[in-house]
Structures are given as C-alpha cells and as structure tokens.
C-alpha cells in the first residue's frame, strides 16, 4: 500500500521506517518548501499545483503535522480515505473548539477564558488570578504563540507579542507533573492504550519522556484511558491520538491539549514498547489488528535539541538507541532522540543523566518520582 503523508518532517520519517517491514511505500506532500524526511518519495507543493499527482499515487492519506489548511484535508477526503479525519484536525487546530469538546465530554481542564481584545485579556487575568498563560487560539506549538502573564499590567504587551485575533487564557495549575496518554483506535473501533508517560518541558519544548511510571496508580491510568477513549469515539477517530495532561497532588488529571498524530512523547515506544506508536498508527489506518502496547521495560526518551552530541559516546551507553533525523544544527531544532532502557527505574535514571551529560545544553533531567 502506498501511504500518502501530509508533511515531510521527522514524524513522517519515523512512520516510513515503521512501515517498510509491512511493505508500505510512502509519498510525502510537503507544503512548506522545507522537507526534512529524507526518505520515501517527497513532493514539494507550496502552491497546490501537485495535489492531483500526489493523490493519483497514494491509496490513503494520513498526516504528521496538524497545522494544515482544513480545506485541503477536506478536499483530499473527497478523493481518498484520510485518517484521522478532517474533523479531528479542525478541532485540534483550534484551542477554543478543543476546550469545548473537553467540556462536552466531561474531561476536566484548567480554568480558562476566551478573549478577543487586550482589555478583555487584562480582565481575564484579573479574574483568573496570576500567573496565567495566554495562547493563540489557532497556530502555535512548542511554546510558540503564547506568553506567561504574572501581572495584569503585562496584558497589553502580551497581546501585542502574541499578535493574534483571539486568545485563550488559562489559569496556572498547581500540578505534580506533566503527563501524556497515547492511544490508538482502529477502523473497527478497537482501542489500545500505551502506559502514561511523564514529560519534562523546558521553554515549551519537550526534553524528556519516561514510561511506564513507577508510582502511577492504576486508577489514574484508567481515568486517562477513559478520557482519551471518549475523544476517540466522539471523533470516530482512526490512528494514534495524544492527550497531554497535568496530574495534581490528589492524583486528578486536567487536560491541557491533544494532538491528532503520533507524538514526541511517544517516541520511547520505538524501542520500549512491544509495538511502537508509529507501527500501530499504520496498522490502524490500514485496518490491520492493533499491536501490543505493553512496555518492555522502563524507558526514557531524551530529545536532542539544537546541537548533537558525539554519536559514538551516546551509543556506548548501555541499551541506548540513537534516532537521528539527518537535520542541520540550529538553536531550538529537534535533531534526534535517544531511547534509553533499563531493568529498573533507578538504573534508567543513571543512564539518562549520563546521556544528558553528553548532549550540549541539555537540561538536568528531573522526574516527580525521584
């Protein structure tokens, strides 16, 4: 089967690597003019003149990046199957729509307000209490398009800096850790859940993800499973979906946002799970049985950002697996990730710290269960 992928970055690259053993072929449609997949058949289409040729080559379409014109995805759906659907992408692109969906399904979120003017932003800040985070309703990822406001007097400057016609303002949450739940739903409605991961972000960019968690109550995992299942069923979703959450001191979970695709916080599954998120996404969209999502052993994904370390030194670490994206170095750019495995969480943390020491500018890893 020739699978069409909208976008041509590292997520598409990893999809292709997972799909080749299934005899899949891949055609990427890059709308940015800057593809980096370095694999498969890449078609650059910045002016939508090559869409017809793309669709003639592929059997079905998925995407590795949700910031696509919804009209483009809808147009493709008229010709070829698209998984996940344009409705999933429409909701996930708009934080207001996303929060409304969470509310409708009874998935708790931090307190929030929608604002369309600097004065409304200041009023929301006063109402919710400082600090708050203001985010553009559409666009923005990896910390872009948002600002932390610690005083109502900062509202006007934040409005100008974000420069978007509508913002969502969220109260800060006193959380113990940031976590994510990844699940996959097949065409027949079958759902499989991955163990929840704890995520450490720095400046809005994910640096570490570790799974499974040694101190996670089964009831918390079941709550997260229930939340993401409700989203999958409501959207009649096919493929991998990610839900980022805050876990509070009492174990309760508050939804932050979701992503309609394979996700950075699931990269640990390539080496750490029986079936990776990438293979399971491909199984789902092709109507194949879903694979086992059990973790083989404690695993941590270490993102390589901006500058790469020495590959030989990294690969000398026990049970280390380096996944390079063949990208040039640039501040803030995701260049690679390292998956580290160990029989115990204590041994794993030692390996994670050793790996971090080999990466330029890597922040110190910190996890809630230490």
The reply to whether 146 sits in an annotated binding site is: yes
The reply to whether 236 sits in an annotated binding site is: no
From the list 162, 118, 119, the residue with the least C-alpha distance to 139 is 162
The reply to whether 117 sits in an annotated binding site is: no
Residue 168 has a CB neighbour count (10 Å cut-off) of: 20
The reply to whether 95 sits in an annotated binding site is: yes
| Cβ density class 323-343: b for 16+ within 10 Å, e for less | bebebeeeeeebbbbbbbbbe
CA torsion, ordered 38, 39, 40, 45, to nearest 10 deg: -20
The reply to whether 145 sits in an annotated binding site is: yes
The reply to whether 173 sits in an annotated binding site is: yes
Q: Coil, strand or helix: which one is 253? A: strand
The reply to whether 170 sits in an annotated binding site is: yes
**Rounded-to-integer distance, Cα 257 and Cα 92, Å:** 8
68 and 9 Cβ atoms separated by less than 8 Å: no
Q: Coil, strand or helix: which one is 137? A: coil
The reply to whether 30 sits in an annotated binding site is: no
The reply to whether 308 sits in an annotated binding site is: no
The reply to whether 177 sits in an annotated binding site is: no
The reply to whether 70 sits in an annotated binding site is: no
Phi and psi angles of residue 357, each rounded to the nearest 5 degrees, phi first: -65, -20
| Cβ density class 124-141: b for 16+ within 10 Å, e for less | bbeebeeebbbbbbeebe
DSSP state of 326: -
The reply to whether 24 sits in an annotated binding site is: no
The reply to whether 148 sits in an annotated binding site is: no
Distances (CA, A) of 324 to 28, 82, 304: 19, 28, 9
Residue indicated by tokens 């299942």: 229
Strands 299-305, 334-341: pairing is antiparallel
The reply to whether 34 sits in an annotated binding site is: no
Q: Which residues are annotated as a binding site?
A: 95, 135, 140-146, 170-173, 178, 201, 256-257
Q: Which residues are annotated as a binding site for ATP?
A: 95, 135, 140-146, 170-173, 178, 201, 256-257
């Amino acid at each position: 089967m020739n699978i069409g992928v909208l976008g041509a970055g590292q997520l598409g690259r990893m999809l292709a690597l997972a799909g080749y053993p299934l005899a899949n072929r891949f055609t990427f449609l890059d709308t940015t003019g800057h593809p980096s997949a370095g694999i498969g058949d890449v078609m650059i289409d910045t002016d939508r003149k090559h869409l017809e040729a793309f669709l003639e080559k592929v059997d079905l379409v998925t995407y590795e990046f949700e910031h696509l014109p919804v009209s483009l995805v809808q147009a493709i759906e008229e010709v070829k199957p698209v998984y996940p659907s344009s409705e999933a992408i429409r909701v996930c692109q708009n934080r207001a729509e996303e929060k409304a969906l969470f509310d409708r399904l009874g998935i708790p979120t931090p307190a929030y307000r929608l604002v369309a003017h600097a004065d409304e932003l200041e009023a929301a800040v006063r109402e919710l209490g400082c600090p708050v985070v203001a985010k553009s309703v559409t666009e923005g990822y990896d910390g872009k398009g948002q600002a932390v406001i610690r005083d109502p007097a900062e509202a006007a400057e934040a409005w100008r800096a974000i420069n978007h016609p509508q913002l969502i303002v969220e109260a800060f949450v006193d959380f113990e850790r940031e976590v994510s739940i990844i699940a996959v739903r097949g065409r027949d409605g079958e759902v499989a859940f991955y163990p929840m991961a704890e995520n450490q972000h720095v400046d809005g960019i994910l640096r570490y993800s570790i799974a499974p968690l040694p101190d996670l109550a089964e009831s918390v995992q079941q709550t997260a499973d229930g939340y993401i299942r409700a989203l999958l069923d409501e959207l009649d979703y096919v493929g991998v979906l990610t839900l980022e959450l805050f876990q509070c001191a009492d174990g309760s979970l508050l939804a932050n946002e979701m992503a309609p695709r394979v996700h950075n916080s699931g990269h640990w599954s390539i080496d750490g799970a029986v079936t990776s998120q990438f293979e399971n996404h491909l199984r789902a969209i092709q109507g194949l049985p879903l694979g086992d999502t059990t973790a083989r052993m404690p695993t941590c994904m270490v993102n390589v950002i901006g500058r790469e370390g020495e590959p030989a030194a990294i690969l000398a670490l026990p049970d280390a697996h380096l996944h390079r994206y063949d990208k040039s170095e640039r501040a803030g750019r995701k260049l690679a990730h390292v998956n580290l495995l160990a029989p115990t969480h204590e041994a794993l943390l030692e390996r994670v710290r050793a790996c971090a020491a080999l990466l330029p500018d890597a922040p110190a890893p910190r996890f809630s269960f230490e």
